[in-house]
Structure 1
């Protein structure tokens, strides 16, 4: 069983988080914690959900509003997703470097996207001139 396996009914999850079950229902309605549902529409919480509920309780005790808590959790989820993506790309890069040592693997495009490169090719560069003058104070 991993931390994302949804096994806890609402009463057990509430007890583990130190909250009332009605509080968990409210957080579900607000979208702070979204448990899984059974075929009969019963909520099922994972250990990760319980940890998130504990984090919500901690932030609330520090005076953070529910909207602030929602935003913090959203940003933490975004950071975690980006960290996972970075690990994937690092692994892919390491594999590519092992398979083809000494060759260019990719470049960054003008909008920040990853552009795959074939061995021996170069990125086309813009030759426009930009003039910049600082504002005088």
Structure 2
């Protein structure tokens, strides 16, 4: 069970704090529906040492999303696939953000290396060192 706290001491969105009856009431779903969704692998609530289910705020949002999709006529296998694709999209967006930041840092380092090399010999090319000691980037210029 997550014990992290958000700002001002409030529970983090991932902290499993809601018992099944409260989660059912907050989402408008029956407790048996929540259990069925767990059996199907659509949701994975936290567990107490005694085995009781505890739902986080993020779990409640997911349950509401599942309820919205099923009420729109989408079957549970369709819901499962939509959730998988949504997770893939989120992971790809995060990776894209990482790559954009890495590219910006590389461009900045290359710009600094080129600026430092301007005063030296035209045949001397900058070598950029990566974050790992064994990494480097060589910039090649074709002879004219």
The verdict on a shared fold, with TM-score over 0.5 as the criterion, is yes
Which residues of structure 2 form unaligned runs of 5+? 1-5, 7-11, 115-125, 129-134
Larger mean Cα displacement after TM superposition, 38-47 or 27-36: 38-47
In structure 1, stretches of 5+ residues that fail to align are: 106-115, 123-137
Aligned equivalent of 2:107, options 79, 97, 102:
97
- Structure showing greater radius of gyration is 2
Aligned-residue RMSD, C-alpha: 2.4
What does residue 40 of structure 1 align with?
A: 50
Q: Which has the higher contact order (CA 8 A, sep 6+)?
A: 1
Aligned residue pair count: 112
What TM-score comes out, normalization by structure 1 length?
0.71
Candidates 107, 110, 120, aligned match of 2:139: 120
TM-score (norm 2): 0.68
Q: CA deviation at 1:36?
A: 1.8
Aligned to 2:65: 55
Please give the alpha-carbon distance, in whole angstroms, between the structure 2 residues aligned to 1:118 and 1:12. Answer: 56
- Relative to its length, the structure with more helix (as a share) is 2
1:86 pairs with 2:133: no
Q: Distance in 1 between matches of 2:32 and 2:26?
A: 14
